[in-house]
Structure 1
Amino acid sequence: MSAALTVSSKQSKLLRFLRPQTPPNLSSLLRHLSAEPDHHPPAPPPQNDSSSVVNLVVELLQTTDNDWNEDKLHQLLFPTTSPPPPPHNLLQITRLLGSTAKALKFFNWVQANSPCQDSPLLSFTLEAVFEHASREPNSHNKLLDLFKTSKSHKIPLSVNAATLLIRCFGRAQMVDESFLVYNELCPSRRLTHIRNILIDVLFRKGRVDDALHLLDEMLQPKAEFPPNSNTGHIVFSALSKRDKVGRAVDEEEIVGLVSKFAEHEVFPNSIWLTQLISRLCRSGRTDRAWDVLHGLMKLGGVMEAASCNALLTALGRAREFKRMNTLLAEMKEMDIQPNVVTFGILINHLCKFRRVDEALEVFEKMNGGESNGFLVEPDVITYNTLIDGLCKVGRQEEGLGLVERMRSQPRCMPNTVTYNCLIDGYCKASMIEAARELFDQMNKDGVPPNVVTLNTLVDGMCKHGRINGAVEFFNEMQGKGLKGNAVTYTALIRAFCNVNNIEKAMELFDEMLEAGCSPDAIVYYTLISGLSQAGKLDRASFVLSKMKEAGFSPDIVSFNVLINGFCRKNKLDEAYEMLKEMENAGIKPDGVTYNTLISHFSKTGDFSTAHRLMKKMVKEGLVPTVVTYGALIHAYCLNGNLDEAMKIFRDMSSTSKVPPNTVIYNILINSLCRKNQVDLALSLMDDMKVKGVKPNTNTFNAMFKGLQEKNWLSKAFELMDRMTEHACNPDYITMEILTEWLSAVGETAKLKSFVQGYEVSASAA
């Protein structure tokens, strides 16, 4: 007997060891999180007699199937002088059998011999049979057959048996069978963990509405089986997955679920709450995100900085700095410790909107110690954000001061980004030499420059007229192994195009291709614009074809530049080809296209075509601008047709929503004065005053010329006073007209009084 007990004991230990204790991967872990280890009624205290019976029965059942001593088996399990064995004993015995076949035979024997057919004995024995079957190949079909057998014999399922079946059927895509198992359970056994497993299966298989219906039962105020933390884990995890199957659950549904869970003191963890806050903010519902976060705070949910950071980011984008400060104060009240990201968000958004002094205050709060309730050490990103903000508002010296402060903190040494921010600031402030000194200091400190450093300096030099210096610096860096990219070449090509050095621009473009640096669309646009402005339209068209070969589609700006160039060269056929190509590319002409064509046909005297184009422009839903009207008015004036020009002006003033501007008034006033219609020109000046259009030096010069022809001194003196009132500085043309006229009539004192305190500018009027 002793040897039998030893063998049985070793077998029991071996089977317990082989039985899976922990899930093998994360997916299994998520499935197992919802199940508790055992849901049997409390087992009776272990007794030597009970353990001995289990071991004896297992030893007896290890013989061949045909050699069972059924009398002894009956005597051990169902003695006539004592009550039936505890259900746990039969569960343990069945688990220790070697196969589903043996376990099933034992179950059939128990079913045939048990004196109590409605006792838990059969349920617990069948549970162990299910366990054996679940570990065998094609387990889901075997379990389905066993489940059907249990139904036909009306054997109630134990909680653990139902758990096993629902999970196994779910893994085998047999969701309806999982539901069937759940429905077969006695309502009192549909525990929270069983529901959790089924909800998990339903979400995984895309049965979202079924999952939410089952969940709704649990979320009722007085639900018998309310949700627990595992329920929350399953639901929030499923709803947060971007690649989930089934119908999408909108933000409002999720918010409603969060609120109902919170009533049962189940809260989403920091990761899922952060995802929800971010999702609401991305869809423009920042106010809703605010309500959700504060609602959970009031209900006692544990908050972490990450969720608050997500809301702070959205508030920063919307410039709601007051609410950002409110949330930061609430974090302090609720003992939610802000982290370096929290302060980084505040500083970043304040700097982005040029509120640098407030950003500096936040920065000082980080180091404020216990007196402020915060003690967060700034990192390199925080320093760099603040330095960049200071440089963008022209406070480079303060930025340099922060660099020195960084050096005093070993973990915050200045890096490439730090120097790039400062170099960019000095370049924008036209302090190229200071930027170069910083670059040299960067190399001395052993901080490696990158392509952003190169581009910043090259672009800065180009914009401030130091193009040759930019090329030299670029070549020097190339020699040291720091290669440029499309941005570098674009800056240089644009600079040479601006000074009309097209040959050098094209040379750089060829160099770019030879260096293996793929041009981007901006490089092509820059070249097309430069070549068109220089009148080299054939080469511009060639670059356009190369652009298309490279896989880039010309934009409306490129087409407009070329059409304008062809119009200026009077190459209407080529301009028409460009228009056709635009249509083929699916690009509709815009206001600039129409204005270019209207201006061209107006200047050539083809007013009928110009007006047809204007009508077509309106038909296409485009509103004529002041440029459109100005082109027509200017052309009519040049052609000497002042009546038509004034007619368009009056139509524009009365029916158009586009009011005339200073340029249009100047065109008309100049033309009227040339035609000796000075009275009408003066009335236009009065009209400007009424409509609040400010005259400029050109307006007064045109009037002075007209008044000189009429020798209307008193009107000239009035206009001189008005010019003074408008703080409109006279230029050399003004002085030439007035000096000649007033000297001739002996009014030099008036002229001296007029120019006193003015700085005469040389306008290119």
Structure 2
Amino acid sequence: MLSGPPPKALSTVRSLLEEAHRRITDSRFASAKSLLRSSITDLPFSAVSASLTTHSPLLLDMLLRLYSDSGNLSDALAAFDSLSASPSAAAVDPRSINSYLVALRRAGLHRSAANFLRCRLLPSSLASPESSAIVISGLCDSGDLSDAESLLSRDGAPPSIYAYNSLLRAHLRTPDTASADRILTSIDASGGLGVSRNAATYTILIVHFTNARSFADAEKAFDEMKERKIAGDVHLYTSVVHSRCRSGDVRRAVEAFDECVAAGVRPNERTFGALIDGFCKAGRMDAAEALKAEMLRRGLAPNRPILTSLVNGYRKKRMSRAALELGESMGDLDSHARNAIASALSRLGRAKEARGLLNSGAEHNVVTLTSLIAAHCKSGELTEAVRVFEGMESPNSVTYNALIEGHCRRGRVGEAERLVAEMEGKGLKADAYTYTSLVRGHCEAGMVDAAVRVFGEMGMKGVAPNAYSYEALIAGLARKGRAEEAFGLYEEMVAEGLRPDDRDKIASLWEEHLPTKTRLDSGKQKS
């Protein structure tokens, strides 16, 4: 195997290197880099080194970076060794070293990067906080936390908050999250080395607590950051907005958004998206649309997740036409948007179009198939819904709920109860949606006593009834003329802080089914 170019090409390589050296000397670095990239870096460093007529640290440094950027790791290392062995080793640009370390990380060679830091950079004092952070971050990504920590604690790698934040994030992903406290203590102990907590530190904590649904701890972390007078950035404020929306406290999410703007931090698409999603889930579609308009005013285009949140929000508010119009403006649809639009079509009685849309997807997952089952049920095609259900490998509780509701709508409450027992046998929990379907199904079949029994089972199993659960049973009792029970249940619902989803419907039930004297007596009791 040839170790270098043929003799005729040697002079050409030498001429190119000399030209690159002249351009570097004239500070025409971009031109020199372009010349080397196009004509030299496809050659092995041994051939390039043999053609060098003068030792140029800047030229070698540039070759180190170019070899690294192209993923040629062996020649990049050879270029580094040649450069660091010279009296001008101090001339190695830290950015070139970092390019090599990034290339190692990109290739998944995290241990090689750690060895390079230990054996070559630390002994020659060429290690920097940035190079340490690159290596430590890679080790954290690969799960080698002990080696990552030992670089700082035992080997003396220059510390940085970026390295510690990588360790913090990695420890929070492990079952032993208490070890994250040790990392925070290490950060605070490194204050004399210029290391201190920053906004990213608290973003990591807030995201972790939010995912764990420890919303109070997320708020404590945010308060602590402000007590330490650490300025928040857009990622920090976005995490707070998202956390408060997930906890259901949209009002305070708005406060965090306003605080972000007041601090001079520009909200980005993710910040707007978090709050728009919160508004949509709270049913505040006017506020969501106003925020979308503010996005556009700021020159930010709503991305697909934001538009999908809006479609889902309209769908849940029974504003199916608005959901459909927005969905049709989205162009190519992902599975989330496709499912939301299919649900809107089903509500509009366009089940055939809903099925066509769902079947047009590139792949069928549990979400898509569940939406397909719901579409079949809403169009009365229960046989087709069962066929899709029986072909699924792992239906989830939402899938069961869709089919249970379908059976209840057709009066097949016994089959619905069998499905409830089946899902619980698989370790899936029946929720308020499940029980509400059963309550409504029994009531519509005229079996109000059975509905009362199911409603009572909810409390026994730790499932809190929602407004729809109460409304379904109130309607059933009212139709049977069981006035006192209906009014008592209504008062219980209000006492629980639940509002009827449709007050006009409740009022019409009183007018249509309950005796006049009972209504008057109830009115007197309330006054």
Same-fold call, TM cutoff 0.5: yes
1:275 positional shift: 4.8
Using the alignment, how far apart are the partners of 2:82 and 2:266 within structure 1?
Answer: 55
Equivalent pair of 1:427/1:435 in contact (CA under 8 Å)? no
2:331 counterpart residue number: 588
Quick check: 1:383 aligned with 2:152?
no
1:485 counterpart residue number: 233
Choose which of 256, 265, 278 in structure 2 pairs with 1:517. 265
1:414 counterpart residue number: 159
Give the stretch that moved more between structures: 271-280 or 348-357.
Answer: 271-280
Tell me the SS of whatever aligns to 1:291: coil
1:608 positional shift: 3.4
Equivalent pair of 1:261/1:267 in contact (CA under 8 Å)? no
Equivalent pair of 2:314/2:320 in contact (CA under 8 Å)? yes
Cα distance change on mapping 1:366 and 1:279 into 2, 3 Å:
same
1:475 counterpart residue number: 223
Using the alignment, how far apart are the partners of 2:163 and 2:292 within structure 1?
Answer: 39
| 1:534-683 mapped onto 2 (5 Å cutoff) | 534-579=282-327, 582=329, 587-592=330-335, 593-602=337-346, 605-610=349-354, 623=362, 625-626=364-365, 628=368, 631-637=371-377, 641-645=381-385, 662-663=394-395
Tell me the SS of whatever aligns to 2:261: helix
Cα distance change on mapping 1:352 and 1:428 into 2, 3 Å:
farther
Using the alignment, how far apart are the partners of 2:274 and 2:428 within structure 1?
Answer: 36
1:281 positional shift: 10
Percent sequence identity over matched residues?
19
Quick check: 1:306 aligned with 2:61?
yes
In structure 1, stretches of 5+ residues that fail to align are 1-221, 223-255, 317-322, 370-374, 654-659, 676-700, 707-728, 734-761
Using the alignment, how far apart are the partners of 1:354 and 1:261 within structure 2?
Answer: 33
| 1:62-77 mapped onto 2 (5 Å cutoff) | none
Tell me the SS of whatever aligns to 2:343: helix
Q: Deviations over 1:338-383 (max 9, x none)?
A: 74746544433334555332222222331698xxxxx564333332
1:401 positional shift: 3.0
1:290 counterpart residue number: 42
Residue identity matched to 1:313: S
1:63 counterpart residue number: none
Q: Deviations over 1:589-623 (max 9, x none)?
A: 524434322233236653234256569xx6xxx74
Quick check: 1:269 aligned with 2:21?
yes
2:510 counterpart residue number: none
1:625 positional shift: 4.5
Equivalent pair of 1:605/1:635 in contact (CA under 8 Å)? no
Using the alignment, how far apart are the partners of 2:248 and 2:228 within structure 1?
Answer: 30
Using the alignment, how far apart are the partners of 1:334 and 1:415 within structure 2?
Answer: 26
Quick check: 1:349 aligned with 2:103?
yes
Tell me the SS of whatever aligns to 2:307: helix
CA RMSD of aligned residues (A): 4.8
When normalised by structure 2's length, the TM-score is 0.60
Using the alignment, how far apart are the partners of 1:732 and 1:625 within structure 2?
Answer: 21
Tell me the SS of whatever aligns to 1:731: coil
Q: Deviations over 1:660-695 (max 9, x none)?
A: 76449x979x979x99xxxxxxxxxxxxxxxxxxxx
1:434 positional shift: 2.6
Equivalent pair of 2:187/2:195 in contact (CA under 8 Å)? no
Using the alignment, how far apart are the partners of 2:296 and 2:93 within structure 1?
Answer: 47
Cα distance change on mapping 1:292 and 1:444 into 2, 3 Å:
closer
Residue identity matched to 1:555: N
1:562 positional shift: 0.5
Using the alignment, how far apart are the partners of 1:367 and 1:516 within structure 2?
Answer: 40
Tell me the SS of whatever aligns to 2:159: coil
1:548 positional shift: 2.2
Aligned residues between the structures: 396
Equivalent pair of 2:64/2:77 in contact (CA under 8 Å)? no
Residue identity matched to 1:532: C
Q: Determine which structure has more spread, i.e. the larger CA radius of gyration.
A: 1
Using the alignment, how far apart are the partners of 2:182 and 2:18 within structure 1?
Answer: 59
Q: Deviations over 1:99-156 (max 9, x none)?
A: xxxxxxxxxxxxxxxxxxxxxxxxxxxxxxxxxxxxxxxxxxxxxxxxxxxxxxxxxx
1:402 counterpart residue number: 151
Cα distance change on mapping 1:299 and 1:557 into 2, 3 Å:
same
Q: Deviations over 1:378-417 (max 9, x none)?
A: 333332323333333444444343324565xxxx753444
Residue identity matched to 1:381: E
Q: Deviations over 1:527-585 (max 9, x none)?
A: 111221233322222221222233322122211211121112210243245357x4xxx
Residue identity matched to 1:552: L
Using the alignment, how far apart are the partners of 2:34 and 2:149 within structure 1?
Answer: 39
Quick check: 1:363 aligned with 2:107?
no
Cα distance change on mapping 1:461 and 1:364 into 2, 3 Å:
same
Using the alignment, how far apart are the partners of 1:279 and 1:661 within structure 2?
Answer: 55
Using the alignment, how far apart are the partners of 1:474 and 1:335 within structure 2?
Answer: 45
Cα distance change on mapping 1:532 and 1:275 into 2, 3 Å:
same
1:501 positional shift: 2.0
Residue identity matched to 2:268: D
Equivalent pair of 1:340/1:377 in contact (CA under 8 Å)? no
| 1:56-67 mapped onto 2 (5 Å cutoff) | none
Cα distance change on mapping 1:705 and 1:533 into 2, 3 Å:
closer
Equivalent pair of 2:188/2:196 in contact (CA under 8 Å)? no
Q: Deviations over 1:646-669 (max 9, x none)?
A: 88899xx9xxxxxx76449x979x
Tell me the SS of whatever aligns to 1:325: helix
Residue identity matched to 1:526: A
Using the alignment, how far apart are the partners of 1:331 and 1:644 within structure 2?
Answer: 67
Residue identity matched to 2:376: Y
Equivalent pair of 1:280/1:289 in contact (CA under 8 Å)? no
Relative contact order higher in (CA < 8 Å, ≥ 6 apart):
2
Equivalent pair of 2:377/2:403 in contact (CA under 8 Å)? yes
1:641 positional shift: 2.6
1:480 positional shift: 4.1
Quick check: 1:531 aligned with 2:271?
no
Equivalent pair of 1:598/1:631 in contact (CA under 8 Å)? yes
Using the alignment, how far apart are the partners of 1:404 and 1:327 within structure 2?
Answer: 29
Using the alignment, how far apart are the partners of 1:612 and 1:406 within structure 2?
Answer: 62
Equivalent pair of 1:454/1:474 in contact (CA under 8 Å)? yes
When normalised by structure 1's length, the TM-score is 0.43
Using the alignment, how far apart are the partners of 2:262 and 2:375 within structure 1?
Answer: 47
Cα distance change on mapping 1:271 and 1:628 into 2, 3 Å:
farther
Q: Deviations over 1:172-215 (max 9, x none)?
A: xxxxxxxxxxxxxxxxxxxxxxxxxxxxxxxxxxxxxxxxxxxx
Using the alignment, how far apart are the partners of 2:358 and 2:35 within structure 1?
Answer: 46
1:523 positional shift: 0.7
